[in-house]
Structure 1
Amino acid sequence: MSDTPSERSAENRDADAQRRLVRDRYAEVASDDGGSCCSGTGATSDDACCEDTTGTDSERLGYSPEDIAAVTDGADLGLGCGNPKAIADLSAGERVLDLGSGAGFDCFLAAREVGPEGQVIGVDMTPEMVEKARANAEDTDGENVAFRLGEIEHLPVADASVDVVISNCVINLSPAKDQVFAEAFRALAPGGRLAVSDVVKTAPLPEDIASDPDSLAACVAGASTVETVEDLLADAGFVDIRVEPNADSAAFISEWDDDHDPSEYIRSATIEARKPTR
């Protein structure tokens, strides 16, 4: 599946302007304690798009009630599209890097898995999110968790310094996904692995959605096809690449926009890959 001209134009929008758009959007979310990818216009936890009688938002994404209860209030902002911890298969003592860590929800869950001998680093480009995550770490007593301000295209970590890279519905927001995967590859130690939940494009986007800045910030317009993600990972040097869309994700993705049904064009997917040992 090839991109339409309008989609290629959207992807080539000014990178700095795109980052400002995303940063402003998630600064508002961090300040308001509300909003999620279910709306590009600043939805709050009271909005109908996030209501579901079968469970909380995060339960619908694959988190257990125990996961949710284990983390301090305010860390789970409902911004994801899956559960990267569930596919990361974390072990005690491992070093984990979370790209676009937000208020720290996935970092705190990963910290429980790797234990006191492990380490978790969250990187986010929004100062308000980093401040919120650090405050949550104090409430959680997360001594093996650290949060750093930075862009996922320019990660503030050393070469070969982590064992696992995770991310939850963030890479689609980047104007330079090739650089994100190259940076993840650099940060991973030989044999390290990438375990990401993100959205992928399953059909061409209508022009009004592809060119809409709000649609980009709402985790829709920035999605790439499965083939593109596979190619970007391979170009970065990864092997054992697997990108698997989740058909069931249409149930919650359809609620992300009041004017369109994004599930006609995107799905949540698990994205896994490994850095070769040599």
Structure 2
Amino acid sequence: MNKEQVLEVVQERYGAIARGEQSGCGCGCKNEVAEAIGYTAEDLAFAGEGNLGLGCGNPLALAEIQAGMAVLDLGSGAGFDAFLAWRQVGSTGRVIGVDMTDDMLARARENAANLGAHNVEFRKGNIEHLPVEDNSVDFVISNCVINLSPDKPAVFREIYRVLKPGGRFAVSDIVLLADLPEQIKNDVSAYVGCVSGASPVGEYIRFLFEAGLEELAVPQITHGGKLAEAILPEDKSPERVALQKAAAGAVASIKLHGRKPL
């Protein structure tokens, strides 16, 4: 697939999830998934309508977000992380969510209205070309989204561009610890399921450094385990199960953070 085809497939899948036609975690277990990857019952009670079971970690657990900050959420979906960031920035801060899917934006805006989140704004755009001003945000967060991009270096350059000098970022994402089986690499459903589009962990970190970001820290890498089983199609044939096991040995969830130089 070329870049345009990738974006089209991703939009189609996540639009279906936003409309309730598909499930993010494949089993109606979005709250259980959220708690397993680091969110609390309090988080879910506060902003649970924004949780579609699409995350692979909790980037806010790494983020030192303070009142009055401007926070940007890349691939904001229905707004779960954006609303949790809003809780931290308070009435004197602001939160911007960027998503390329109209159905997700509509759902996020409805959730914002229901929460009274007047200083949370959702903008349409691609994370490779953010509709955000230079040097304008204090913190960038992203949760299981960058792996879907066909041009990850561009995403990291955009993070650098929009951050204020000294601004920070925190990301949860999927990376590869080993090569994937060829069938998984070429599987469209594995791409939109956050597997086959993932970069090797060393390459991922290199892209961040090449974008000019610094003070990179990786406090957690969690081996794929059941991750591939949850996000690949629910096909129980022996061939698919074998592929899932191979993918599970190759993928991992990573948490990392860093900053833009002063």
Fold shared by both chains (TM-score > 0.5): yes
Letter in 2 for 1:191: G
Q: How do 1:1-278 residues align onto structure 2 when only pairs under 5 Å count?
A: 13-32=1-20, 34-36=22-24, 38=25, 43=26, 45=28, 50=29, 56-73=32-49, 75-247=50-222, 250-257=225-232, 258=234, 259=240, 260-261=244-245, 262-277=247-262
The CA distance in 2 between the partners of 1:166 and 1:85, in whole Å, is 7
Task: Give 3-state SS (helix, strand or coil) of 2:62's partner.
Answer: helix
CA distances 1:49-94 after superposition (whole Å, capped 9, x unpaired): x48xxx7111011000000001153x11010000011111211111
Residue pair 1:33, 1:77 contacting (<8 A) in 2 also? no
CA RMSD of aligned residues (A): 1.6
Cα deviations across residues 212-236 of structure 1 (Å, max 9, x unaligned)? 1110000000111121111101110
What do residues 226-275 of structure 1 show as CA deviations (whole Å, max 9, x unaligned)? 21111101110001112354336634454323431332111110121210
Distance, in Å, in 2 between the alignment partners of 1:34 and 1:108 is 23
TM-score (norm 1): 0.86
Cα offset for 1:102? 0.1
248-257 vs 133-142, greater mean Cα deviation: 248-257
Match of 2:23, as an amino acid?
Answer: G
Which of structures 1 and 2 has the larger relative contact order (alpha carbons within 8 angstroms, sep 6+)?
1
Does the residue aligned with 1:102 lie in a helix, a strand or coil?
Answer: coil
1:159-210, Cα deviation, whole Å (9 max, x unpaired):
0000000000000000000000001110000000110000110110000001
Alpha-carbon distance in structure 2 between the residues aligned to 1:35 and 1:60: 17
Q: Secondary structure at the match of 1:136?
A: helix
Identity, % of aligned pairs? 46
2: CA distance between counterparts of 1:153 and 1:34?
26
- Asked whether the equivalents of residues 14 and 101 of structure 2 are also in contact (C-alpha less than 8 Å), the reply is yes
TM-score after normalising by structure 2? 0.92
